[in-house]
Each structure stands twice: as structure tokens, then as C-alpha cells.
A and B are shown apart, each in its own frame.
Chain A
Amino acid sequence: MSHKRLYYQLILITVLLIALAIWQLPDFFQRNAGINLPKGVTPQFNQTLKIDKPCVDLHPEWRNAQRIDGVKMAESRLCEPDNPFDVAAFVLGMNHISMSTLMNTNIAEDALTKSDDLDGDGDPDIIRIKLEVLELNGATPDSPNVFPQYEIAPGIQPGLWAFSPKLRGMSVKNFRSQKPNAILRAPSPVIRVEKGDKVYITLENTHYFPHTIHFHGVDHAFKTSQGGDNDGVPITGEKAVMPGKTRTYELQPRHAGTMLYHCHVQTDKHLMMGLVGMFVVEENRPNNWVQTFNVGAGHVRYSSAAIKEKYDREYDLHYQSIDKNLAKTIQQSNDIREISKQMHRVYNMSESNENYFMLNGHSFPYTLRDSIIVAKQNENIKLRVANTQHSNIAVHIHGHKATITDYDGVEQNPAAQITRDVFSIAAAQRLDLKLQTTDDGLHSYGEGVWLFHDHVETAVSNDGMGPGGNIALLVYENMLTSIGLPILRKDALDDVFSNRFYAKKQVLWGKNEAGKFPPNMLHLILFGLLLGAIVGLIFFIFRGLSKAD
């Protein structure tokens, strides 16, 4: 009996200890701060830190105004100017360039053929164009990374597609490199032809999904002269062009202006993946050789005769957005059946978001490398602006008011043209702007490094991290360095050229984020001892009581 009493007393003690333990329960996961706050930490960053140079000056000799095979092209003072040999090839056609020019390009010899001066005005009028389909940042069975690695901004590699002039040779810089050659890039190239040209555009479907081309706003018959599909819509015309197959579309545009072309297969997805580009029909003039492709859009180094009559410079501005979930569908499998399922059936376009916003295939800060508008005072600059995003864009140029000369490739009556500072462009619409750099307090407020960007604020971030998106600059020549960067405060670009910044692991305006409290070890150990004692006592009591019987 006396034994039993001891155990009953121990039960009482155990209950008391349990009460003590509950009272002394430590804060395991979070606790309110007292007088002292956490010391702070630098955020953890799991990837390799990579800080890019604002400009890798690979081809300084490409910037100069120069003459290649007789093609006299404009200076391009950008960090990454267009390859002048490509420009010469695109002006003359592959059938009129020298061997040395050809060797300086990555273009197939049948990519662009120009022949037959039909109207006898000194320029070729039969234009044969061959397009392929590129995939950037796609899946590969040979590496956990994507291939080829095309960054739209530091550390950002969304899966993308683009039409491309038919290419030749290697697609990467060398065997060890994962980076594509400069010509493999977004967006789909701007195509330029002259009004009245007979244009044959062949889609050579090098890709693993079916595609077509639809010419949006460009004068074309519903059927080709042979009775084939000429509108690119599988519902109203022929079936889509299957992988490994080709189809030739025919155009002879009777109207000049800024138009579009795009894939019309599963259009909602394929267009957002990047199979959409600008299509410019230039006015007919004598001796008017036009630069058939403007790869990567942006500065036009060889403007048409009609543009040169009125303007000092010309830029193609292609605004484009990406849903990161759609972009991911091509990165997670190498089985085309699985990619097709994920893209076309699992991914739901009606629940889509836009996460990345690009101007000419890059997001800020990479827009600084190839999408700066360079200007001098008292110039007229032609801007062709196309919106291929889902959402509207509202482009604003700091320090300037420009005039809308054309809507969707149709000239506005000059008396009714509007001059303003925000240009609203709905999906697939185009505006031609006349930007006058006359310092009169209306058209321009003078020289400067002026931002220009979409004022829909979602679009000035990279997946929510700003500054990013389609921000670019209008820079006056005397404020531009020799490598094509604006003259800025010395530390202005320190943050944005690191991948840590867009991974959201870079603290803004300081070194530390608040972080966590360390655990209170003494309290924790005491609690642990208490808990152990309780369990031990319970065991002891049970054993004792059962033996006592």
C-alpha cells in the first residue's frame, strides 16, 4: 500500500511538471520582438552569382556607317548593332552578295533571292523568302539546363519561339557554348518589302509542331495562284504545315504600311510563344532596295527610299509579353507528345498571366544593348510600333510628344493627326509615329537620356521585379558613350545587371533584410529536460503501479 501512495504522489508531481512545461513552452517558430529586433541577414541566393557587363563590346567595327558589296548602311551606335554583313545580304538578296559577305553571316544561300525588275525602276521585284522556326530555351535530354540559352534579361530564360530567316551552319557560338549566335533571337524578324513586289514566302517547318503563316493586314489573295492556301488559317484553308514540310505563300501588296505576320495554328499559344513579327510594306520608289529582314527589330540600318525622303532615322519597336507558365511547357519534357499536351490542353490560356514584357526580344536592362533610340536635335525619327501582347500597351516617351501618322498601316489625314505623349495600342494594332526632336517645349524638351516605356505598370517589371520589362531609352548622341551606353551616374546600373536582382535576392537600398531571431537555446534545453522528466516519470509510475498489484 505504502508503495502505491508514493506513486500517487509522483502523479501529482507529474501533473505539476506538465503545468510547468506548458507555462514554459518556448516560441518554436516565431516570437514577438522585445526591445531588440533581429540583427538582419543578406538574403540566401542558391544560383551562381552572375553580374553582366552592361555592354560586352564584341563587334565595335559593326557600328560604323559602312559600305558592304555596295550597300551603304547607316551608322548604328548601339552596344549590339546589327551585323552589317547580314544587313547587306538582306538588302541585296543572297544571290547578289560576295563570298566574303556570305561567310560573315549564318544565313542559308537560298534564304532570300531577289530578281526580276518587273517595273523597270532599278530594283528587283520578285522576292523569295524562306523562313524557319526557332526554339530558344527549350528542353534538352543532355542537360538539366535549357538550350540554347537566350537570356531576355539577367538570369531569365523563358521558353520562346521565333520565325527566322533560313539559317546555315552552327547555331551556337562554338561546340562548348550554350549561347546562340546573334541571329538566333526573339522577336520574329521584321520583314520589309516594296509595294507591288511579287513576294513568295516559304515556311520551312523545321519545328516539331505544325505551324502556318497568316499575313495580318498585308494585301494578299485568299488563295495562291495555284489554288493553295494563302491565308494560313487551318479552319478555312489547308491543314497546317507539318514538321519537315514546306508551304509557299504569295503576296503582291497594293498598299504600303506597318502590318504583321503570325502563326495561325493554336494561335493563342503559338502567338504568345513568339511566332509573330512585323511586316512592313514600303512605298514604291525607283532604285528602292529594301532591307528585307530586320533581325531583332530595332534600328533599321538601311531605310527605304520613301522613308529617307522624310526621316533621318527609323526604328521598329515590337512589344511582346510572355506567360511564364506557357513558356515552361517546352522546358519540362523532350517527348513532343507530352509538350503538346502540356501546352495545348493542360495550360489554360483563359487563365493566363503576363510575367515578362519585352521590347525587341529583350527586357530591361538588356534593352539598353540593342533598343536605345539614338537621336540628335532637329531630327525627324520614324517609329513603327507594334503590340503583339495580350494586354494593351500605353507607350510614353519622356520629354517628348510624338505625332501619330498611321494607324494599322493606314495614313491618318495630316490635318487630323494627333500629337500626344501616351500611345495606347491594343493587341495586334500598329502605330507609326513621327518623333520630332525640335526643342520647342512641345515636341521635345531638349537633349537628355530619356526613358521610354509602356505606362501600364505591370509591363515595367520582370515577373514583378522592377525596373525591368519593356523599359528602354531615347538618348541624344552626345550623351552616348563610344560603346553605345548612355552616360549615367556611375552606380546607376550596378544592381540590375546581376541575376540576383531579378531572382529577388538583392536588398534594395541597404545590405540586410530583417531575417530571423536565433532560437533561445537555454530555454529550449530546459524545456527538453522537463519534457524528458515527465515522460520518464510516467513510465516509472506505470511500471511501479502494475508491479504493485
Chain B
Amino acid sequence: MKLFTLLLVFITTPVFAGMNHGGMIMDETGMIMNHNPDVLPKDCPKISKEVDLTIRAGHKFTQGFAGKMFTYDKRDWQVPGCARVNVTFINEDEIRHQFMIHGLPGYMYPKGMFTIEIYGKGQKTASFIVPSRDYTYYIHCEVSQHTEKGMKAQLKVGEGSGDLDSILGLSAPLTPDSYPINNTSITWLSLAFSFLLGIALILFLSDLIRQKLKS
């Protein structure tokens, strides 16, 4: 009970843990994981370029992409090797979204990840430094079904290593959906007409050749 009495001291105003802990900067509005503005990857003698990216997330950016629900305003970025990428991540929905990038060197980014997560409307800025090799990094929001329903992107370092699958407006899904084809009488008439036209064409050509041979 002593503990609770102690805790009650804090009760009148909610106290949130807002601090940096093991690569995490956290508060009640979101978290940043593995923010790295200064540690260079082994293969980078110095920062090659300063790149500022503003990335917006929300339902409204799926406009123009039928059948999807959440996405980023852009889904494809390119930076040179050894660049310092300063990401300003803006969440325009009232719910949680993430900017989560995978595949960074594990020796400086635990689990190979850099993440900005925002718990509702708002924005946060953080940085990471990319290694020198050409590679395409996977970016997504891991809130349940957000990746699957549109929130997937890529960051190409240097020339990149090809495009990832299933990125809205950029690449086809790996396991695409199949839709029926809307055939009308015109479809079949067109087919019949082109069939007859094909026959007529051959007859016409053979006539032409025969006449040439005769003359």
C-alpha cells in the first residue's frame, strides 16, 4: 500500500516516461528507434550528402489507388551511399502510423531497423546514416494490415538493388488478385469481326500474289 500512496503523489498529473533508452526516444506521442545522426557506417569515411526527406502518412494519400486504405505520400526515394537521411515523418491520421526501415547494418542499428512511430496526428524528425553499397531498403508501417493495404515503400541507396514488390503505383504484387473480365456482346463481335477480317486478308493477299505471278 505504501507504493500506491507514493504513486498517488503523481496521480493528479499524468507522468509519462519521456527519455532515451537503449536507442529508443519515447513519449506519449510516439517513439523513435535507433536515431543516428553521427555514427558512420564502417564503409563510409564521411557523410557524402545531407538529405532531408519529409514523409507524410495517412488514409488520404491512397486517393487514386483503388482498393487500398493507408499509404505514404511518396513510396520511392533515392539517396547516395553514405548519406545522412533526416526524416521528418508527419502522420495526418488520428491513429498510429510508422516509418520503419529494415536491412540497415545490425552492428549500429539493433535488429537492422530505424523507426519513427507516431501515435496520432503529429510529426517527428530523426536521422540515420546509410552504408555505401547499392541496395533497396524496405520501408513499411507494421500496424496490423497497413503494409498489406498500401503502406509499403522503398529507399534506394546509390543505384539500389531493384524494385521491391507490391509498392503502390510502382510495382506489381507478388501474389496478385485476379479479377473477372467484363465481356459484353461487343467483345465477341470484335472477335468474330477480326476473325473474318483475317480470312479476308489472306484471300486478298493470295489474289494479289496470283495476279503478280501471272503478269
Contact = CB atoms under 8 A, between A and B. Distances in A.
Interface stretch (B19-27, B43-51, B201-209): B19-27
A132 B95 contact: yes
Interface in A121-150: 122-124, 132-135, 138-144, 147
B146 to A, nearest CB: 7
Contacts of B12: 115-116
Contacts of B29: 110
Nearest to A171: B142
B70 interface: yes
B181 interface: no
Interface string A224-250: 000000000000000000011110000
A53 B1 CA distance: 42
Interface stretch (B127-135, B154-162, B169-177, B185-193): B169-177
A245 B60 CA distance: 12
B16 to A, nearest CB: 6
B70 A243 contact: yes
Interface in B34-82: 58-59, 66-70
A143 B175 CA distance: 6
Interface residues of B, number: 60
A115 B6 CA distance: 13
Contact of A205 (B5, B95, B165): B95
Nearest to A113: B14
A377 to B, nearest CB: 31
B94 A246 contact: yes
B175 A103 contact: no
Contacts of A143: 174-175
Contacts of B58: 244
* Residue of B11, B19, B145 contacting most chain A CB atoms (<10 Å): B145
Interface string B106-126: 000001110101011000000
A92 B21 CA distance: 21
Contacts of A124: 8, 11
A124 B12 CA distance: 9
Given A99-B17, A103-B22, A334 B117 contact: no
A336 to B, nearest CB: 6
Given A132-B96, A206-B95, A336-B69, A287 B4 contact: yes
Interface stretch (A36-44, A162-170, A318-326): A162-170
Contacts of B147: 140, 142
15 contacts: A95-B14, A99-B19, A132-B96, A140-B148, A141-B176, A167-B96, A167-B143, A169-B33, A170-B113, A175-B113, A204-B120, A208-B149, A246-B94, A333-B177, A335-B177
Q: Which 7 residue pairs are nearest across A and B when measured between Cβ atoms? A: A70-B3, A141-B173, A335-B67, A244-B93, A244-B59, A208-B69, A141-B166
